[in-house]
């Protein structure tokens, strides 16, 4: 995978994982949605980058499956904790979310959601002991359903979609 594509995926996973640690009161709805998503028994996530890179993850309990444009593969149980690992590498606790605001209603895959924007100040990312990206400020949009779960997320040219029902293993 190209470095830029990897960093885009890494940023999207990290934002999802660290949003549960937002401190700005205006970010409560996004914070609650991210926390609720982490408590789900199963999810199917599709992440797409501007360059066409696509990654699908299906997690059911402790089992995670991945497809990056080829065949599905089962990945180690602890890989389902990718967001938590990314949050640690990204500097969870140092990442600051702020200026969240409700944009209004939008349909995502036929589901009514409420769009929320946020800004994020994040420290430098280090991968394998080397600087992979300088400290940054970015912004994104979370799309939260009436059930309080996030169904889409857009950040830095990366778009993620999630579903939590009807999720099944793609391979035995």
Nearest to residue 36, comparing CAs of 158, 167, 141, 146?
146
CA distance 127 to 130: 5
Q: pLDDT of 40-95, one tens digit each?
A: 999 999 999 988 899 999 999 888 899 998 899 998 765 545 555 555 544 455 66
Q: pLDDT of 88-122, one tens digit each?
A: 544 455 667 789 999 999 999 899 999 999 998 87
Taken in order of first residue, the domains within the chain and their CATH numbers are: 3-163 (2.50.20)
How far is Cα of residue 62 from the mean position of the Cα atoms in its chain? 18
Q: Can you give the pTM of this predicted structure?
A: 0.77
Within 10 A of 1 (CB to CB), how many other CB atoms are there?
Answer: 13
């Amino acid at each position: 995978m190209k470095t830029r594509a990897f960093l885009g995926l890494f940023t999207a996973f990290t934002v999802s994982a660290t949003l549960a640690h937002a401190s700005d009161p205006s970010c409560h709805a996004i914070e609650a949605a991210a926390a609720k998503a982490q408590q789900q028994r199963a999810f199917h996530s599709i992440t797409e980058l501007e360059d066409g890179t696509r990654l699908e993850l299906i997690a059911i309990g402790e089992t995670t499956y991945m497809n990056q444009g080829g065949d599905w593969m089962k990945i180690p149980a602890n890989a389902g904790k990718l967001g938590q690992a990314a949050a640690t590498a990204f500097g969870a606790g140092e990442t600051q979310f702020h200026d969240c605001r409700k944009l209004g209603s939008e349909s995502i895959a036929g589901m009514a959601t409420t769009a929320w924007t946020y800004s994020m100040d994040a420290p430098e990312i280090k991968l394998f002991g080397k600087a992979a990206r300088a400290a940054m400020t970015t912004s994104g949009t979370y799309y939260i359903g009436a059930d309080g779960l996030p169904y889409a997320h857009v950040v830095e040219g990366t778009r993620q979609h999630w579903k939590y029902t009807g999720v099944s293993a793609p391979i035995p």
